[in-house]
Amino acid sequence: MPELPEVETMRRGIAPVVGYKIAAVERPRCRLKPIAVQPELAQFRRRAVGKRIERVGRLGKRVLVYLEGDEVIVLEPRMTGLVLLADPPNREHLRLCLHLTTDAAASSPRETHGEGQTLSLMYWDRRGLGSVRLLSVDELNHRYREGILGPDALEISVEGLRERLGNSRREIKVALLDQKAVAGIGNLYASEMLFLARIHPKRPCHTLRKSDWQKLHTAMREVLEEAIRYEGSTLGDGTYRNALNQEGGYQNHHRVYARAGKNCPRCGHDSIVRTVQAQRATFHCTRCQREGNWS
């Protein structure tokens, strides 16, 4: 957490920064474990300050802020990072601030009566596991090239999904978390999409039929797009927030995740269970996702 829907929500939420210039880069004082910021701050400032933001993108579970001059700021939230425009949940875990401005000479719809506007793009991280990197576009393409990061889960075709995972002997739930195969899927949404596709999470990839891959691909798109519409999932710890420091809403629509012992929304029985795969919690319905004698 955050996964593709949360990061896509962050991307959409900070879209208003496009057209602004970076006026200053601030690293607030923080007594906690520092996040990785590359290059070191003085060089980061020299390369970023004065640059205009041209567009905002997403690469798997990373937010990309493209600057003029073929450079890009890569914000990787990892477990507890947030990308914000509004006041952060607290100041203690605020890790980096980009102070933005428009100038009176620029032709921007945000300007009023010829005066420049200001805005702050903030990176907040409770556990300090995330990172902020300023890369050239060439460095970005090399760092996340084919073989290191797979196609985006919202863009991959059913044929591509089957080609990348179909010969694997790994359990399908574990395989879906492999970012080298498919980018963006995490633990929560893997459980949700396998439930929707009626596939047992421990079923080996190589035993899935062509029809199973089609069902999984359809479920993958449905779950991710639905979660994006609800602006992601804010779980019990309350960490995830959108760019305006508001909760997501998809946690109210989870079918199986974190619902062990509760009734299945499809069959109606109290058959949702929690298991562990690759040291991660998995949730499924024992009636709708039956375990079989796979070969």
- Number of separate domains in the chain: 2
Residue 119 bridge partners (DSSP): 100
Are 137 and 163 within one domain?
no
pLDDT averaged over 10-residue windows placed end to end, the chain, 295 residues:
95 97 94 91 97 97 97 96 93 94 56 64 95 97 94 98 97 98 97 98 97 98 98 92 95 97 95 95 96 79
Q: What gap in Å lies between CA 78 and CA 59, rounded to an integer?
A: 13
Are 87 and 170 within one domain?
no
Annotated catalytic residues are 2-3, 61, 280
DSSP tag of 52: B
Task: Determine, yes or no, domain membership for 288.
Answer: no
> What pLDDT score does 106 carry?
46
Q: What gap in Å lies between CA 119 and CA 122, rounded to an integer?
A: 10
Are 113 and 183 within one domain?
no
> What pLDDT score does 31 carry?
85
Length of the chain, in residues: 295
Distances, alpha carbon 282 to alpha carbons 36, 79, 187, 219, 259, in Å:
30, 17, 7, 17, 10
Distances, alpha carbon 196 to alpha carbons 191, 205, 271, in Å:
9, 17, 15
**3-state secondary structure labels for all residues of 214-261:** HHHHHHHHHHHHHHHHCCCCCCCCCCCCCCCCCCCCHHHHCCCCCCCC
Task: Determine, yes or no, domain membership for 284.
Answer: no
Are 196 and 224 within one domain?
yes
> What pLDDT score does 109 carry?
41
Domain closes at, from 143, 174, 203: 143
DSSP tag of 203: S
> What pLDDT score does 115 carry?
56
Task: Determine, yes or no, domain membership for 242.
Answer: yes
Domain closes at, from 96, 113, 143: 143
Residue 76 bridge partners (DSSP): 131
Task: Determine, yes or no, domain membership for 290.
Answer: no
Q: Which domain holds residue 214?
A: 158-253
> What pLDDT score does 164 carry?
97
CATH assignment of the domain containing 13: 3.20.190.10
Burial letters for 215-253: b for 16+ Cβ neighbours within 10 Å, e otherwise?
A: bbbebbbebbeebbeebbbbbeeebbbbbebeebebbee
DSSP tag of 79: T
